[in-house]
């Protein structure tokens, strides 16, 4: 029987640089998105969900979990990630659920509107929006942080969730849920993630303000704040490779989380069971106790 000590990989890991946006399929060890292990319990039967960044990492784990909980799922990702996305689409279909692939770049405002329109049209409505896509590129010094890079991080992590959510709200009814993906970086920013950490703090304020705005409509808004999770984001410029080799070592559980381990938070926040939780940030960081 597997235990906490043997079930999930522990550092050290190989250095494994990839170009942004990276592929989960090229990582070693392969991240565990719950492909073989996640068991659904009918918590989202009949719901319709849109997940950005649903091809890999946390978004893929959420897509698999949602399908196994009974939801139809649309995923967005960058065209370069088609091979990762295809695996997710096949897994959703294997559950007998609708699987909609909508590739495209969410730093483009017009595309964000198209994305929501397509998801609503093909799913036949929308109950759950998961803003999960993100850009994290480390930079040692403010002197070297270019305006272009700063702008791309804000466009992906702050503007896109705003554009997508604004378009989605028109389609969300009572009982709908919006889940944003923040980070422990919102609360304990790293020196080398100056721009990224700011965007993740923005996600917290966005979540809290929007929960107040949409509460009267019966729509809940929450954020999840992951700690170190073993995903493509980290190996394709999110961390220096020396840090990738020791990724997760500083957490009390002494390892990174695997995407499957955070999917249950996104499930419960989307489900009708958790009907009074809104405007909160839910942290999963291996014991640091950040948020």
* Among 2-10, 132-140, 170-178, 205-213, the segment contacting ligand NAD (CB under 6 A): 132-140
Catalytic site includes residue 66: no
Minimal CB distance residue for ligand NAD: 57
Pick what 271 binds: ligand NAD, Mg ion, none; C-beta below 5 to 8 Å, kind-dependent.
none
DSSP for the chain reads ---HHHHS--S--------TT--GGG-SSPP--STTT----STTTT-EEEEETTTSHHHHHHHHHHHHTT-EEEEEE-GGGHHHHHHHHHHHHHTT--EEEEE--TTSHHHHHHHHHHHHHHHTS-SEEEE--------S-GGG--HHHHHHHHIIIIIHHHHHHHHHHTT--TT-EEEEE--GGGTS--GGGHHHHHHHHHHHHHHHHHHHHHGGGT-EEEEEEE-SB-SHHIIIIIS-HHHHHTTTTTSTTSSPBPGGGTHHHHHHHHSGGGTT--S-EEEESTT----
- Residues 3 to 62: which contact ligand NAD by CB under 6 A? 21-22, 53, 55-59
Count of residues binding Mg ion (CB under 5 A)?
3
Decide: is 69 part of the binding site for Mg ion (CB under 5 A): no
Determine which residue in the list 232, 253, 267, 270 makes contact with ligand NAD, applying CB under 6 A: 232
Which among 38, 66, 77, 196 is annotated as catalytic?
Answer: 196
Contacting range for ligand NAD; rule: CB under 6 A; set: 76-84, 89-97, 162-170, 275-283: 76-84
Among 52, 56, 199, 290, interactor with Mg ion by CB under 5 A: 56
Please give the residue ranges that form the binding site for Mg ion (CB under 5 A): 55-56, 81
């Amino acid at each position: 029987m597997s235990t906490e000590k043997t079930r999930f990989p522990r550092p050290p890991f190989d250095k494994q640089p990839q170009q942004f946006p990276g592929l989960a399929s090229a990582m070693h060890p392969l991240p565990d998105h719950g492909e073989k292990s996640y068991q659904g319990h009918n918590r989202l039967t009949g719901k319709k969900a849109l997940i950005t960044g649903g091809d890999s990492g946390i978004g893929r784990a959420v897509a698999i979990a949602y399908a196994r909980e009974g939801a139809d799922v649309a995923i967005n990702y960058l065209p370069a990630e088609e091979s990762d996305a295809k695996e997710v689409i096949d897994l959703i279909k294997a559950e007998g659920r609708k699987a909609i692939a909508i590739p495209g770049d969410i730093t483009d405002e017009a595309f964000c509107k198209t994305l929501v329109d397509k998801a609503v049209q093909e799913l036949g409505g929308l109950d759950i929006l998961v803003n999960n896509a993100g850009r994290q590129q480390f930079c040692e010094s403010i002197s070297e942080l270019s305006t272009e890079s700063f702008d791309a991080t804000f466009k992906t992590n702050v503007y896109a969730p705003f554009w997508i959510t604004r378009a989605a709200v028109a389609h969300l009814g009572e009982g709908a849920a919006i889940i944003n993906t923040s980070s422990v970086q919102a609360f304990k920013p790293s020196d080398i993630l100056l721009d990224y950490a700011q965007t993740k703090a923005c996600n917290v304020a966005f979540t809290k303000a929007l929960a107040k705005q949409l509460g009267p409509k019966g729509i809940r808004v929450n954020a999840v704040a992951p700690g170190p999770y073993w995903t493509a984001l980290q190996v394709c410029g999110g961390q220096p490779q020396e840090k990738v080799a020791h990724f997760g070592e500083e957490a009390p559980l002494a390892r990174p989380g695997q995407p499957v381990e955070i999917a249950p938070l996104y499930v419960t926040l989307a489900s009708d069971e958790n009907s009074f939780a809104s405007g909160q940030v839910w942290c999963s960081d291996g014991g640091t106790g950040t948020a």
